[in-house]
Structure 1
Amino acid sequence: MRTKNKKTIALLTLTICVLLGYWLWLSLRPVDIVAVHEDGSNIDILVKDFPITNKGKINWWLENKDILKEKYNIPKPEQDGYFVIIFWLFGEGYKKTDGYDRLCFDDMKTEINCIDKNRVFSISNSKNRGTIFTVSDGEYHIKDGKIVKLKRE
Structure 2
Amino acid sequence: MKYKNKKALSLLVVVGCVLAGYLLWQSLRPVEIVAVHYDGNYSDVLVKNFPFTSRGKINWWLENKEMLKAKYDIPGPASYGGYTIIFWLFGEGYKEEGKYDRLCFYDMKTKVNCIEKDSVFRINYSKNRGLTFTVDDGIYRLEENGNLIKIY
TM-score for the superposition, normalised by structure 2: 0.92
Alpha-carbon distance between aligned partners in 2 of 1:145 and 1:104, rounded to the nearest angstrom: 35
How many residue pairs match? The answer is 151
Partner of 2:103: 103
* Structure 1 unmatched ranges of 5 or more: none
Q: For residues 37-48 of structure 1, what are the structure 2 equivalents within 5 Å?
A: 37-48=37-48
1:69 aligns with 2:96: no
Using structure 1 for the length normalisation, give the TM-score. 0.91
Tell me the residue number matched to 2:25.
25
- Cα deviation, 1:42-95, whole Å, max 9, x if unaligned, reads 000011111111111111111111110111111111233200000111111111
What is aligned with 2:151?
150
Amino acid at match of 2:79: Q
The 2-side partners of 1:92 and 1:14 are apart by 31
Match of 1:134? 134
SS in 2 for 1:13: helix
Q: Percent identity?
A: 61
Q: Check the 8 A contact 2:130/2:142 in 1, yes or no.
A: no
Q: Aligned Cα RMSD in Å?
A: 1.5
| SS of alignment partner, residue 113 of structure 1 | strand
Preserved CA contact (<8 Å) 2:68 2:74: yes
- Of 142-151 and 52-61, more deviation after overlay is shown by 142-151
